[in-house]
């Protein structure tokens, strides 16, 4: 393939990341922020101009959906490619990407002119992998937004190339660009029937070669503690210190099973929000485990801790809202591993070593796969996501485009 398949990739990516699309976890609308809607409308116009068909924003999910029509006269499975347009809970206002050409693989990179923020090889040894590459970084004041505007740019670039080259044969390809992945609600409303694909991939993983099909099972617990605040002089036997109850609750959970003390397939309870006074305290836990049975046991453990505290207090002062967020993608894909094998073969034929490991997180593909559409996750290139130290290699983004095109090619060959 000539380099023509990358035409517009960098310009698209730079344009996309400069458009603010941070999702809003406090919102109850779909999408959660009007900026996402505006960006999706811009993308719809771009896809229409490229000649894609059935370009529309789904009313149920607010996903932008579009079709690259088949140009062969026989049936092949319809492949879908999915990315999200929102960015994470970090400053995303006035993103000012910096371009570092022909990076030498060992020098530290100043993000801002004063050198207050640096990408150092000591802190970020992943930089060593990118000798000779063009890196796109932040200016230190914002995130970059490669999660997941790199995926969006890669998918749109693939679409542009195929629409400009009808001599390249392929089956029908569906595109889905959605909101609110970063707040965990976007895929909840995904319309599988409207999307119309037989298999799909989210293009939302990290560095070169990542191919993810095993994720956490995930739940969230929101706990409220009603205290009783009286003067400390007469506190004995009367005061109920909500902060102390919260501490007792936390100390009742396994000390090792915390995000910062676990790795690999080890699960955890992660206390990531806490606010409290003597009168009232609130806690939010993330519960994670790869094994479904152990995941259920973790939830039951937390329920027992809450029940025990209420028994000790003699009344119900600790209340909990506990709900599941997503399940292990591997369990949904176990009877559809051909979709993983197709991506693995595509990478290997391109000389890319697939990097397959249990993800300590989740993807939109987890939720969508449980809706009946097998959807593993492909690399999009981002490093240090959700932070001012985020960066991406242009060459990795180009290789992501190559993988999408190769998957289309192999899908055609396998069903000819």
**Residues 194/195/198/201 CA torsion (nearest 10 deg):** -160
For β-strands 217-226 and 280-289, DSSP reports them as antiparallel
Residues 6+ apart with CB under 8 A from 5: 157, 158, 161, 401, 402, 405
Strand partners, 135: 100, 393
Cβ neighbours, 10 Å, residue 322? 16
Q: Cβ(211)–Cβ(379) under 8 Å?
A: yes
Residues with catalytic function: 86, 181
């Amino acid at each position: 393939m000539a380099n023509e398949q990358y035409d517009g990739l960098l310009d698209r990516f730079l344009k996309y990341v400069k458009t603010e699309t941070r999702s809003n976890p406090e919102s109850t609308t779909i999408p959660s922020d009007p900026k996402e809607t505006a960006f999706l409308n811009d993308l719809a116009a771009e896809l229409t101009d490229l000649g894609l068909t059935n370009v529309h924003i789904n009313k149920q999910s607010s996903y932008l959906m579009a079709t690259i029509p088949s140009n062969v006269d026989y049936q092949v499975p319809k492949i879908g490619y999915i990315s999200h347009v929102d960015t994470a809970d970090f400053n995303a206002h006035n993103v000012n990407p910096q371009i570092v050409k022909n990076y030498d693989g060992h020098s530290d990179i100043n993000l801002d002119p004063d050198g207050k923020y640096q990408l150092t090889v000591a802190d970020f040894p992943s930089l060593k992998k990118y000798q000779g590459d063009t890196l796109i970084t932040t200016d230190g004041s914002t995130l970059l937004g490669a999660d997941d505007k790199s995926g969006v740019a890669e998918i749109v670039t693939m679409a542009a190339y195929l629409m400009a080259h009808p001599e390249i044969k392929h089956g029908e390809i569906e595109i889905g660009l959605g909101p609110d992945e970063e707040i965990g609600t976007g895929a909840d409303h995904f319309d599988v029937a409207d999307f119309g694909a037989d298999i799909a991939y989210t293009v939302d993983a990290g560095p070169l070669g990542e191919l993810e099909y095993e994720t956490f099972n995930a739940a969230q617990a929101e706990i409220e503690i009603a205290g009783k605040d009286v003067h400390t002089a007469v506190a004995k036997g009367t005061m109920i210190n909500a902060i102390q109850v919260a501490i007792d609750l936390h100390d009742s959970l396994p000390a090792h099973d915390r995000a910062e003390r676990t790795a690999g397939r080890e699960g955890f309870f992660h206390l990531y929000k806490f606010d409290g006074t003597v009168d009232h305290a609130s806690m939010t836990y993330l519960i994670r485990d790869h094994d479904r049975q152990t995941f259920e046991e973790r939830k039951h453990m937390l329920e027992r801790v809450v029940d025990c505290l209420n028994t000790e207090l003699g009344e119900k002062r600790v209340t909990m809202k506990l709900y599941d967020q997503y399940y292990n993608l591997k369990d949904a894909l176990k009877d559809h591993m051909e979709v993983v094998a197709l991506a693995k073969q595509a990478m290997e034929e391109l000389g890319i070593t697939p990097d397959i490991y249990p993800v300590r997180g989740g993807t939109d593909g987890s939720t969508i796969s449980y809706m009946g559409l097998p959807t593993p996750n492909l690399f999009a290139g981002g490093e240090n996501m959700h932070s001012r130290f985020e960066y991406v290699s242009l060459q990795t983004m180009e290789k992501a485009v190559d993988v999408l095109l190769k998957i289309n090619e192999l899908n055609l060959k396998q069903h000819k």
